[in-house]
Amino acid sequence: MLSKKIDYIIIYSFLLASILCIAMLVRLFVVRQLQMDEFSGLVAFIITCILFGAIYFSFQSIVNECLLPLVERIFGKGQQSIHELNVETVLTKPMETIIPKEEASIPQYNDYKQAAQQKIQEEQMQILENVLCYTGQELSLYVEEDEMQKLYKYIRLFQFASEKECNKIKPAVIVDPKLKPIDMMYFGWNIGNQFKKTGIETATFIKRVFAEVLKENEISTLKSKLRSSDGTCIIKIKKEL
């Protein structure tokens, strides 16, 4: 806004200076060439300033009211058509080239879901494999092969079983008498921790699977002593298998 005012001041300053110069020349012409007095020269000076000022403002009015609208009508249509053509090109061309690429690059919901489900299944299979390997390494000296296969079957069931389903497990797995109740509790906690089982689910599982060893222990007692440190034991607590 300030720069526009400065532009107007400069333009009108040049205009005023030009009119004053012309008026001064007219005054000199009247006084020297026409041999008239100073008053006549002053009158000529004033009349010249008024005349040229009127001519300028009249010319500016004619230009603004007549010539500029005519020029805009002549050249405005061509510019408008070019502008519309450019806008249409910008709006339509990317739509033709970009949209199919976006649609083709966006994965479908089912793809995400299947990928997530497959990842979960792979993680669960890996956890089960780790638990079965740990079971074989920990109990192979104390469990016969047939009983070990039975135990593997129960562990596969335990991974996704509820408390009620664990309570239905039978017959029990027979283990060497060297393994004490505390060993079975620690073993149960080790595998239950990998499957993210609750204390009651783990206690119910080992109570049914190792029924002979734990015949003197109630499920509530087993739940409270899954990680207790009572007496010596063969099987140790392991947070990671």
pLDDT the model gives residue 71: 62
Distance CA 215, CA 177 (A): 13
Q: Does residue 72 belong to any structural domain of this protein?
A: yes
Phi-psi label, residue 111: left if phi above 0, alpha if psi -120 to 50, beta otherwise: alpha
* 86 and 139 housed in the same domain: no
* 40 and 85 housed in the same domain: yes
* 146 and 187 housed in the same domain: yes
* 91 and 119 housed in the same domain: no
Task: Please tell me the total count of domains within the chain.
Answer: 2
Its domain, for residue 76, covers 2-100
Instruction: Tell me the pLDDT of the chain (241 aa) as tens digits.
Output: 566 677 678 877 877 888 788 888 888 888 787 878 888 878 888 898 888 878 877 877 776 777 666 666 666 555 555 555 555 554 555 444 555 555 555 678 888 888 999 999 999 999 999 999 999 999 999 999 999 999 999 999 999 999 999 999 999 999 999 999 999 999 999 999 999 999 999 999 999 999 999 999 999 999 998 988 777 899 999 988 8
pLDDT the model gives residue 138: 94
pLDDT the model gives residue 221: 93
pLDDT the model gives residue 18: 83
* 136 and 87 housed in the same domain: no
Of 47, 82, 100, the residue at which a domain comes to its end is 100
* 89 and 127 housed in the same domain: no
Q: Does residue 63 belong to any structural domain of this protein?
A: yes
pLDDT the model gives residue 92: 53
* 68 and 19 housed in the same domain: yes
Q: Does residue 235 belong to any structural domain of this protein?
A: no
